[in-house]
A and B are shown apart, each in its own frame.
Chain A
Amino acid sequence: MANTKLMGLFQDPEQAAGAMTKLKEDGFPVEDLDVYSGSPFPEGSFGEHEPEMRLYMFPLVGALVGFAIGLLWTAGTQISYPLVTGGKPLLSIPPMTIIMYENTMLGAIIFTVLGVLFESRLPRRNLGLYDERITEGYIGVIVDCPEERATAAESALQGAGAEEIKREEG
């Protein structure tokens, strides 16, 4: 069955929070609700669903990969071509440390960028249901629901004081 997306536009965050409460009371699952805003609100301000994210894993994995590459690169080349100089140890630890650190940071940032893009589902070619007033401070409450519940969602948004309601057929 086709789903419908609705967006209620609110100038007042209090009204947007009220709309979220009403929608949840009316049985709309919190996972199907989203809030668009021009600046971040503290977690849970609208009673919204907190998305599960693992962004912190990306820099961690990237740092480990970078460190491993740095270690293999430096230690591997010195072990593969053993040139003992003046009886000193084969592995030259201080410069290896610098190179491993550089590679660790490089790996961490590359994976972080990839992580940010993946976790925030960017880039997206089509903005979908959206309104330009959101970047001016309006709040958009998004409801993703089956076609037959669209009227109930619309009346909940209307009842909470939405200035405008937009609709996108799935």
Chain B
Amino acid sequence: MHNGEHEFTAGPLPTHQDVARDVLGRFQDLGHRYWGWVTVLAFLFLLGIVGFIIRLSEGFNDENRANWGYFVATLAFIVTTFTAMPVISAGLRLAKANWRRPLTRVTENMAITGLLVVLMLIPALIALPSIDGRLSIWFEFPLGAPGVWDVIGYGTLAFIGLALLWGVALPDLAAARDHLPNSTRQRVIGWLSLGWVGGVRQWRVLYQGSLLAGAMYLLTYPLVQTLMISDFHHGLIPGLKDAIIPATVVVNGLQGAVGMTLLTMYLMRRLGNYEKYFSVEQFWALSKPLLSFSLLWFYFWWASFITFWYGRQPGESEVIRLLVLDEYRGALMISFFLNFIGPLIALVWNPVRRSVWGPALVGTGVVIGALVNQVRLYVSAFSVADPSQHVLHPRPATQWPEAPDLLIIVGAISGCVLLFMLVSKIIPVVSIWEIGEGLRLVKVRRYLNRYARVIAKSH
């Protein structure tokens, strides 16, 4: 009933009309600042393409497979953070969390990064060695594995994400169609709104359809993470037999999604003046699952590690030396601190959780930790000279990023942000209809000596 920083007062809440006018006003304005950011991001994205072309010119031979390690780690990072974000809105919509309303669209707009993921997947698959003679989830099934099935799996996730994004945005596209001045942009938006008018039947279908598409995204995301970790990590390191690693990367993806959502909301507050939509309530509410996922990060890592530690077979010893104790120890320590220790120390304190800066800072750390952890997992795997051995020997040396790798990392991340910014000028970044619906369900009432917010349950 009380958010810690703002006591509720008896003042009137904004109306649907206020929200529509405010959001569409910002949406309409394509100022110099916006184009400045788009230009910078496009330039960085082009640099990433330069880095990719340099790697491409070196080819896809088994001898230089290690060159693609950072490319694959970047791909895994995008899947673990940006592309995981629609999971947040899907889960919160299924749970009918009222505080979700201002942030669902931000997370759904990130579904557009699924397109970049599918494009990046193709060279990553070409860089993979043949599955003949090495451990793989594809066994001896030869029909196009892993390439065809990975592309179908990732493509399905991207398609579900785009269907979710477009379907849920139809009412807001209609609002933009109705209120933007006549222009090419308005006509494109009008075409995308498909003639939505907001009748009873349309709302019922939208409600059910958004739940169905969200549930499908939730069901497909673990599949994609399983394919990623199995094909690009687990199957490339001889002696690595980790039964829970698919579950580990799914939990890491959920943590990355929450971290990236917090970071995005913070940046939108600071750079886009969206303070009234992304308030303490959203940061505070998201900090709780972030703390849970951080504890699970350690739990899953520990459960994997302890198996190898007690196993002590020669192959297992080499694996933990590579991933934990020697070559990638530094990367693990950074990730260990940013994904577990840091969030634990910070988020157990109520005043930190109940603030904007606290969860945003921890979320930023989680995102950086996720990147470093993907480097540990995927660069190490791509450095292995012969994945068909039974025991990892010799262990590959630590591989530091070269200039093309840095360009690829910066370029791909900039590409994701660029796509988000571009799609946010077609689809309003705050969901007008969901906030409008939420406002009708909220009343501020006098309760003893103070005011309390009463939220009705819809449906």
B213–A112 touching, CB < 8 Å: yes
B156–A38 touching, CB < 8 Å: no
A53–B216 touching, CB < 8 Å: no
Give residues 70-112 of A contacting B (CB, 8 Å).
73-74, 77-78, 85, 88, 92, 94-96, 98-99, 101-103, 105-106, 108-110, 112
B140–A59 touching, CB < 8 Å: no
Report the minimum CB–CB distance from A78 to chain B (whole Å).
8
Q: Chain A residue with minimal CB distance to B172?
A: A135
B200–A34 touching, CB < 8 Å: yes
Q: A105-B156, A128-B197, A137-B15 given as contacts; is B204 within 8 A of A53 (CB)? A: yes
A108–B458 touching, CB < 8 Å: no
Report the minimum CB–CB distance from B181 to chain A (whole Å).
12
Q: Which residues of chain B are within 8 angstroms of A106 by Cβ–Cβ distance?
A: 152, 155-156, 159
A119–B212 touching, CB < 8 Å: no
Q: A114-146 toward B: CB 8 Å interface, digit per residue (1/0)? A: 011101111111111010101111000010000
A92–B178 touching, CB < 8 Å: no
Binds A, one of B249-257, B316-324, B347-355, B430-438: B430-438
B21 at interface (Cβ–Cβ under 8 A)? Answer: yes
Q: B191-205 toward A: CB 8 Å interface, digit per residue (1/0)? A: 000111111111111
B206–A120 touching, CB < 8 Å: yes
A98–B149 touching, CB < 8 Å: yes
Q: A112-B209, A115-B209, A135-B20 given as contacts; is B153 within 8 A of A48 (CB)? A: no
Q: Which residues of chain B are within 8 angstroms of A105 by Cβ–Cβ distance?
A: 156, 160, 216, 219-220, 223
Q: B125-158 toward A: CB 8 Å interface, digit per residue (1/0)? A: 0000000000001111101010001001101100
B33 at interface (Cβ–Cβ under 8 A)? Answer: no
Q: Which residues of chain A are within 8 angstroms of B205 by Cβ–Cβ distance?
A: 53, 55, 116, 119-120
B57 at interface (Cβ–Cβ under 8 A)? Answer: no
A102–B156 touching, CB < 8 Å: yes
A51–B152 touching, CB < 8 Å: no
B183 at interface (Cβ–Cβ under 8 A)? Answer: no
The docked-state distance in angstroms from the alpha carbon of A128 to that of B198 is 12
A34–B440 touching, CB < 8 Å: no
Q: Which of B140, B160, B171, B227 meets A39, CB within 8 Å?
A: B171
B209–A92 touching, CB < 8 Å: no
A21 at interface (Cβ–Cβ under 8 A)? Answer: no
B179–A36 touching, CB < 8 Å: no
A137–B20 touching, CB < 8 Å: yes
A109–B163 touching, CB < 8 Å: yes
Give residues 300-342 of B contacting A (CB, 8 Å).
none
Q: A77-B143, A116-B209, A135-B171 given as contacts; is B201 within 8 A of A51 (CB)? A: yes
B223–A101 touching, CB < 8 Å: yes
Give residues 25-40 of A contacting B (CB, 8 Å).
34-40
Q: Chain B residue with minimal CB distance to A113?
A: B163
Q: Which of A50, A78, A134 meets B198, CB within 8 Å?
A: A134
Size of interface on A: residues with Cβ below 8 Å to B = 61
Q: B202-241 toward A: CB 8 Å interface, digit per residue (1/0)? A: 1111111100110010011001000100000000000000
B459 at interface (Cβ–Cβ under 8 A)? Answer: yes
- Kindly name the residue among B204, B207, B458, B459 whose own CB sees the greatest number of chain A CB atoms within 10 A: B204
The docked-state distance in angstroms from the alpha carbon of A116 to that of B436 is 22
B432–A85 touching, CB < 8 Å: no
Report the minimum CB–CB distance from B102 to chain A (whole Å).
14
Q: Which residues of chain A are within 8 angstroms of B208 by Cβ–Cβ distance?
A: 53, 55-56
A125–B195 touching, CB < 8 Å: yes
Q: Which residues of chain B are within 8 angstroms of A124 by Cβ–Cβ distance?
A: 194-195, 197
Report the minimum CB–CB distance from B277 to chain A (whole Å).
16
A166 at interface (Cβ–Cβ under 8 A)? Answer: no
A53–B163 touching, CB < 8 Å: no
A149 at interface (Cβ–Cβ under 8 A)? Answer: no
Q: B377-417 toward A: CB 8 Å interface, digit per residue (1/0)? A: 00000000000000000000000000000000000000000
A112–B212 touching, CB < 8 Å: yes
Q: Chain B residue with minimal CB distance to A51?
A: B201
The docked-state distance in angstroms from the alpha carbon of A74 to that of B138 is 12
Q: Which residues of chain B are within 8 angstroms of A55 by Cβ–Cβ distance?
A: 205, 208-209, 212
B91 at interface (Cβ–Cβ under 8 A)? Answer: no
Q: Which residues of chain B are within 8 angstroms of A50 by Cβ–Cβ distance?
A: 200, 204
- Kindly name the residue among A36, A120, A135, A142 whose own CB sees the greatest number of chain B CB atoms within 10 A: A135
Instruction: Give 17 A-B contacts (CB < 8 Å), ordered by A residue.
Output: A34-B201, A39-B433, A39-B434, A40-B204, A50-B204, A51-B204, A77-B143, A94-B137, A101-B223, A105-B216, A105-B223, A112-B163, A116-B205, A122-B170, A134-B178, A136-B21, A136-B175
Interface residues of B (CB under 8 A from A): 15-17, 20-21, 137-141, 143, 145, 149, 152-153, 155-156, 159-160, 163, 167, 170-171, 174-175, 178-179, 194-209, 212-213, 216, 219-220, 223, 227, 432-434, 436-437, 440, 458-459
Interface residues of A (CB under 8 A from B): 13, 34-43, 48-51, 53, 55-56, 59, 73-74, 77-78, 85, 88, 92, 94-96, 98-99, 101-103, 105-106, 108-110, 112-113, 115-117, 119-128, 130, 132, 134-137, 142
